[in-house]
Structure formats: structure tokens, C-alpha cells
Structure 1
Amino acid sequence: MRGLAGKRKLLRIFISSEDRYEGEPLWEYLLKLVKDKGLAGATVFKAAAGIGAHSELKTFTVWRLSQDLPIVVEIIDREEKIEEFLKVLDEIIEEGLVVLEDVEVISYRHRSEK
């Protein structure tokens, strides 16, 4: 996929680790959807702390069994593919923040299969 280099779009989705879609963690569902739609890839980041949609501090504490932490999913691909993904995403995200920005991919490499 060296052809990914050039002007592309970065889609960043801010959700909670507690968010679910059809019974599974939302971030896992999003990764499966990225694969099904043939996007270049995605990365999921779990934050240590954040302030969510209701101005509520979400942070890690050792005393809680369940940790409601911020999750960020980043996806980079061509504009057309991201725009198509956004149409599906609108049906899935109940609460969270979705941002889109222009980026320039300098290099996208992977090892060749032997």
C-alpha cells in the first residue's frame, strides 16, 4: 500500500471505553468495520484521563472495578473512503466527538509476505 502516500484525511473518533454497539465494545466494532470496508487501517488509543461530553472527569482509579476511560480511534485513508465511512459512522456513534482533518502521508510501509 505504498500508494497511500500523499494528501489524505485523518478521521479521529473520541468515545468512551464503556460505549457499546450491538453488545460489543464500540472501539472493537469500529475496527472490524474498518477492516470490512477496506480502509488502510486504524489505531486505538486508551487515554489515562479526559473530560467527556458532559464535562465529567474520566480517569483511572485503582478502587474502581470498571474503568470508564476515554478512547481515541484514528483512521487515515483517501477522502472518498473516509467520506463513505462517515455515512456508516453516523448510525453507530450515540455520544462522542468525531473530527476530520487534512494530513499528508509521507510513507506507509509494511513487510512483504514471504
Structure 2
Amino acid sequence: MTNLTGRARRLTALVGEDDTWHGRPLYTEIVHRAHEAGLAGASVFRGVEGFGASSLIHTTRLLSLSEDLPVAVVIVDTEERVRAFLPQLDELVTEGLVILDECEVIRYVGRDANPGEPDAEGKRSS
């Protein structure tokens, strides 16, 4: 598991829910590529309303405009690892917005793969 604390980079890719890459949702492709690249983590957040460069507002409030809602893919890792991933986003994101900003990781702890089994120090997880 990656040990990530302190200064880091947050990459946010804002794309449309209906955007695809070879028949697969674009946000799914980004997450899977981030995983394959060994990045610390990625999460997808679905927006309820928004607009982008096209200036068309998409919202869950009106059925006629509820398609292609905004989706944010957020990835956090070291600056070097995030920047190394950027060429993949250049290939994938043809419409949307990609943002990089500095952040500070306070806590990064994964789930225990085998709950209830002793860890390296002999302690049992819950």
C-alpha cells in the first residue's frame, strides 16, 4: 500500500456522464487507468447540476436536461506520480476540464484485506 501523507497533488477531471472511451464510460476508463498506473486512489462524484464550455446547463431537476450530468474524477497522489499520469488524460479527455492543485494529505489508510486476522505485529483488526 502506498504511504501518502503530507504535501500531494489533487487531479480533478470534470467530464460528462455520457462521455465514453471505446464504448465504456470515460470516468470508468480514467479510474481503471489510474489503478493500473499504481496511483494512490481515485473517486468519481456525480454532479446534480452544472455547465461547461458549451454553456448548456445540465440538471437533475428537469427531465429534459437530466442527461450528461457533470462527473468529477478526483485522484490524489504525489506530484511526480500525478504528472506522470497526465499524458493518459490528454489521450482520454477530449472535452472537459482537468485541474491540478496542491493539497495536504492528513490521513491515508486502507481497509484491511483480511479483517479479523492478525497483522504483522500480531494485532487483530476489527
The structural deviation recorded for 1:53 is 1.4
Task: Assess if the C-alpha contact under 8 Å between 1:52 and 1:58 holds in 2.
Answer: no
Structure with more of its chain in strand, by fraction = 1
1:57-110, CA deviations, whole angstroms, 9 ceiling, x for partnerless residues? Answer: 011256449721000010000111101110111111110000000001011012
What are structure 1's unaligned runs of at least 5 residues?
none
Question: RCO (CA 8 Å, sep 6+): is it higher in 1 or 2?
Answer: 1
Match of 1:11 in 2: 11
**Number of aligned positions between the proteins:** 114
Which residue in 2 is equivalent to 1:50?
50
- Amino acid of the structure 1 residue aligned with 2:94: E
Three-state SS of the structure 2 residue aligned to 1:3 is coil
Alignment match, 1:100 = 100
Q: CA RMSD in A?
A: 1.7
Cα distance, 1:36–1:2 mapped onto 2, change above 3 Å: closer
**Does structure 2 retain, via aligned residues, the 8 Å contact 1:2–1:109?**
no
Q: CA deviation at 1:111?
A: 2.6
* Distance (Å, rounded) in 1 between the aligned partners of 2:63 and 2:83: 41
CA distance in 1, matches of 2:67, 2:61: 8
SS at match of 1:86: helix
What TM-score do the two structures reach when normalised by structure 1? 0.91
Name the residue aligned to 2:35.
35
Identity of aligned residues (%): 39
What residue in structure 2 maps to residue 83 of structure 1?
83
TM-score of the superposed pair, with normalisation by structure 2: 0.83
Return the alpha-carbon distance in structure 1 between the equivalents of residues 2 and 80 of structure 2: 18
Tell me, in whole angstroms, the C-alpha distance in 2 between the residues paired with 1:101 and 1:5.
Answer: 16
Regions of 4+ moved over 6 Å: none
| Secondary structure of 2:3's aligned partner | helix
C-alpha contact (below 8 Å) 2:58/2:65 kept by paired residues: no
